[in-house]
Amino acid sequence: MEKAGKDFYMKSALELARALLGCLLIHRTEDGICAGKIVETEAYMGTKDKASHSYNNRRTKRTETMFGPSGQAYVYLIYGMYHCMNIVAAEPDNPQAVLIRALEPIDGLDLMAYRRYSKSLSDCSRKELLNLTNGPGKLCQAMKITIKNNGESLTGNSLYIVKQGTPKASDIITTTRINIAYAEEAVHFPYRFYIKNSPYVSVRDKAEELKAGR
């Protein structure tokens, strides 16, 4: 259990997406501390990847942090009401990032329940407990990650990653990314990764799980 340092993030988004599986995402706020185990990620490979915000070197106010150094949070608002959190990968001017798509709640569950449903943990149904952080928008709401965290360095003491044992290769499912139907050939790129047996994954790929065996 050690906090991930600068070096950890200096790799391609594809490598980082795999390396992040099993790690803890921690957020300390005034309300308290929350933590979740990362169980699902997606790699966005930058200027050549039609699904990426930085495709074709599109550099705007929103995408600017993707062009910065690795190890920063790239957070943006989606559909006018939800946030998505990414971790910037690779080197400056190579705008790659990893989208955090799902967590297994580990610590601060009561805080998460209040942020998600405005009620205490003990009043949550089984389904609500499973839905606390099983999607990119949900986990940001539960962890209180907002546009204010955009550009924040993960080497600080507020929002950061703690390394844990990476799952073995046979426990990682590799499949296509979610909700990028517009991305032409990139639709088929195997850039999504999740932990096979986790009940906290947002969308399962039954065919790939069968192929991976048990």
Residues lying near DNA in the complex (CB under 7 A): 42, 44, 51-54, 58, 60-63, 66, 74, 76-82, 84, 86, 97, 99, 116, 131, 135-139, 177-180, 182, 202
32 token code pair? 């308290």
Closer to DNA at the Cβ: 61 or 168? 61
Closer to DNA at the Cβ: 30 or 185? 185
Nearest distance in Å: CB 165, DNA: 25
Residue 19, H or E segment: helix 13-20
Nearest distance in Å: CB 60, DNA: 3
Nearest distance in Å: CB 58, DNA: 5
19 token code pair? 């390396």
CB 139 within 8 A of CB 85: yes
Q: Are strands 96-107 and 159-163 parallel, antiparallel or unpaired?
A: unpaired
Closer to DNA at the Cβ: 2 or 123? 123
- In this structure, which long-range contacts are made by residues 74-81, counting pairs with CB atoms below 8 Å and at least 24 apart in sequence? 74/150, 74/151, 75/140, 75/145, 75/146, 75/147, 75/148, 75/149, 75/150, 76/147, 76/150, 77/147, 78/137
Nearest distance in Å: CB 56, DNA: 8
51 token code pair? 């699904």
Nearest distance in Å: CB 95, DNA: 8
Closer to DNA at the Cβ: 3 or 12? 12
Closer to DNA at the Cβ: 22 or 135? 135
